[in-house]
Amino acid sequence: MDNTEKIIIQKEESNGLATAAMVLGIIGIILGVIPFVGWFMLPLWLLAIIFGFIGMRNPIKKGFAITGIILGTLTFVYKIGFWVILLITSAASTY
């Protein structure tokens, strides 16, 4: 008689890119609001957006991917808006 046992290991499915997008988005928005230091976080914002879009292809943890996209975009828009408002204000005060 053959007494062999089969061991089945079930691995929980995950979406590493979605998780990475969310983590990069959180770090980017926390450090992105610091004036003059925040621009060094530009790669984090871009990677959060890119990883978020790639991570959305997988239905697992899709919310993490969406969160990463939103946080990366929000921080990017915030930084651009900050400098636009600063330039407009300084240009208006010179006249």
Q: What would the pLDDT profile of 18-48 be if each residue is shown by its tens digit? A: 999 999 999 988 888 887 777 788 888 899 9
Q: In the chain, what is the straight-line distance between the N-terminal and C-terminal CA atoms, in Å?
A: 97
Task: Write out 62-91 in H/E/C secondary structure.
Answer: HHHHHHHHHHHHHHHHHHHHHHHHHHHHHH
Question: Domain residues of the chain, as ranges?
Answer: 16-93
Q: What would the pLDDT profile of 76-90 be if each residue is shown by its tens digit? A: 898 888 889 988 988
Per-residue pLDDT band for 59 (boundaries 50, 70, 90) equals confident
